[in-house]
Every structure is written in C-alpha cells, then in structure tokens.
Structure 1
C-alpha cells in the first residue's frame, strides 16, 4: 500500500513539474533583432515573425516533448527548413536547427520580451 502511494505521489510531482516548466508561448527577440511570436496551433506551437524584413512569415512548428520542444524551423532568409529543437530556461529560448540527422546544427538564443 505504501509503495503504491509513493508511486502515485512521485507521478503527481513529475506531472506538476512539467506543468510549471518555463512556457515557450509569447514574444521573443531573435538574434537577428526581429520579434517572433510563439502561439498555440494544431496541438503544438507555431512561430511567426512579427516585424522586420520577413514580418508575417511562419517560420516554425514545434510540439512539446517533456521539458523541451521538437519540430521544424525555417530560415526566413533562404526558405530552407531544418529539424528543430528548443528549450526554455528563464527568459532565454535556446533554438537549434539541424541537418544530416543532427550532425550539423546552428543554435541561437532568443530573449523573452
């Protein structure tokens, strides 16, 4: 009985931790200086540029994967799409786009607005 209760408490705490993880939703300042809006869409999250040279362009879709996010990210300058991953720590969003199964990646740190 005690073992079942301990497992139930542990599972509850793990789910609560995920629920209180830093949210990816909101407006972020990219390294290029544009503002990217991350909003819920289709069971995941969509990234759209709000200003700058590529304003209005949808550049990514991500799904939650535990405390991280995975999906696709597009470079707005050349319209190439990459396998993407992201994680949030406080006011910083670490965004990566990779090719060749993750052998070559480019990472940017975006700041929460």
Structure 2
C-alpha cells in the first residue's frame, strides 16, 4: 500500500514539474532569421515581446507583439508587404521558431525562423 502511494505521488510530482521545466527552457527573445532572409529581433516590451525587423526593406519596423511564456506565444503579426495585421502565434523548439498568422483562425500561413 505504501509503495503504491509513493509511486502515485512520484508520478503526480513528475506530471507537475515536467511541463514547468519544459516551459522555462524555450525563450523567444533573441535574433531570428526569417524565411525571406531578413533578421528580426524579439525582445521584451511592456507585458509581452515585440518583433522588430532589423534588416531588409522594412528595417526598423515593428511587425508583431506576442505574449506568453515557455515555448508558446500568442498575439498579433503584421505582414509588412501587405500592411495587414493577423492573429498570430509563435512556438519555439530549440533554435527554431514556428510563426503562424491567421485570418478568422481558418486561413493561416506559417513560417519557420532560425535563431541566429
């Protein structure tokens, strides 16, 4: 009986600590190379993270703001070429950042950026 309770407690603790450890391991801040070859910087601003293009035709322009923690972020992304803003999300996995912008949550485009 004691062994069963100890195993149950260990599994419960692992279920709680495991996701928290994974969350802390994937920061979004830093410099990223976009699929089109520009460099984008993501840094703290207000209560979230701002995305600013550092190179290319739209250098210096803020193209998004995301909030979240761990490896999952949500907010808004702007297509600078079309000057349209979409609901967006970002998901960090190691040195890759999958960016996604959607209209009405059904028409979506994705890009994968690489950490510099």
TM-score category of the 2 structures, normalised to the smaller one: 0.7 to 0.9
State the partner residue of 1:35. 39
Structure 1: runs of 5+ lacking an equivalent: none
TM-score by length of 2: 0.83
Please say if residues 22 and 70 of structure 2, whose CA atoms lie closer than 8 Å, have aligned partners that are also in contact: no
Structure 2: runs of 5+ lacking an equivalent: none
Question: How many corresponding residue pairs?
Answer: 111
Question: Are 1:19 and 2:18 matched, yes or no?
Answer: no
Please say if residues 98 and 112 of structure 2, whose CA atoms lie closer than 8 Å, have aligned partners that are also in contact: yes
Larger radius of gyration: 2
Aligned-pair CA distance for 1:12: 3.8
TM-score by length of 1: 0.85
Aligned-pair CA distance for 1:23: 1.3
- In 1: Cα distance, 2:70 partner to 2:95 partner: 18
Aligned-pair CA distance for 1:94: 0.5
